Every structure is written in C-alpha cells, then in structure tokens.
Amino acid sequence: MYLTGQLLIAMPTMPDPRFERTVIYMCTHSEDGAMGLVVNKALESISFTELLEQLEIGLDWSTAGDYPILSGGPVDAGRGFVLHSDDFMREGTKAVQDGVALTWTIDILRAIAGGTGPRQHLLALGYTGWGPGQLDAEIQANGWLHAPADDSLLFDTDLDAKWERAIAKIGVSPSMLSAESGHA
C-alpha cells in the first residue's frame, strides 16, 4: 500500500529526535522510494518576508502575510517547496492528490507575495526522503502511523496541535500506543 497524499505520523516512541511528534505529508510513495514534507515544524531562523528579501522578490504589503517557513525535513534544507491547494497550477507544479499540489519554482513565491498565489499553502525548506523499501520497513518496525490528509489539518496554522489532531483523526490516544509490535 502506497501513502501518496496521506499523513505520516511519528509514533510517540520515535527514536530519531528530528522526527519527534512530526506530521509529514507524503508527496510521493512508490516502490522506488518516498518523499514528503514535514507540516508541523516551523523554522525559527527565517520568515517569509526575510526569504522574499533574500530572493529579491517584491512584496505587496496590501495582500501579503508573514507566513511561517517550515522545516520540511533534513534532506536538501536549502531547497524550497510550496505545498498548496490545486487552484494554482503552473510549470513546475505537480498535482499530488485530492486537491493538493506541490510547486518548487520561485514563481509561486512571487504569486503569493503579489496576492495571486494559491488559496492555501505551506512553505517549506528541505524535505524527507526514503530509499526503496525504507519507509515500509520503518512502518513495520512501529515507527510511523498514517492517516488520510484533509485541508483543515494540512493547512492549519496551529502547528503545535497538528500531531495530536493527526493521531486523533485515526481514533487513537497517544497514551495507548506502544513501542512493541506483535504478529498474529
């Protein structure tokens, strides 16, 4: 079973501190590997307006907001991605699933800054990646849960509540989860 378009939720016992209480939107998952973006961890080191200034993109102050920049994951942390509603489709945009798209060109930042970007969006630097079979093995080792994604959770700006909300979405209490797995 492939998880493209799903949320990957770190188990409470996640041994890797980089992924503790993390929610990842899976942009692609196949036999060739997987790629996703962390959607609940903000970068403290840069804001949207600072990013636009560094990239020398003008900002329309009448329509712009100062959106958080997320730490999309530990891979290629200098590379930017925008996960967004599919009402903005251009060259360099990939439809993911269920009304969600991914764009990795600077044009989308210009559109957001100018007030003509997608209705909903998350900006991230870096991504998470797994080689063939790696994510499947981590799931089998009880490292991750998964749940369907929805716009209200995916694009919610309350980043601190996303992990709890994602787990609640599948009807599980974090206190009931164990690091032990069994086989029937």
For residue 31, the tally of other CB atoms under 10 A from its CB is 9
Confidence (pLDDT) at 20: 94
- Full pLDDT tens readout for the chain, 184 residues: 799 999 999 999 898 899 999 999 999 999 999 999 999 999 988 878 788 788 877 765 545 567 889 999 999 998 999 999 999 999 899 999 989 999 998 899 888 888 889 999 999 999 999 999 999 999 999 999 999 999 999 999 899 999 999 999 988 777 666 555 444 4
Confidence (pLDDT) at 37: 98
Q: Is CATH 3.30.465.10 the classification given to domain 6-176?
A: no
Confidence (pLDDT) at 183: 45
For residue 21, the tally of other CB atoms under 10 A from its CB is 18
Confidence (pLDDT) at 182: 47
Query: pTM of the prediction?
Result: 0.89
Confidence (pLDDT) at 76: 94
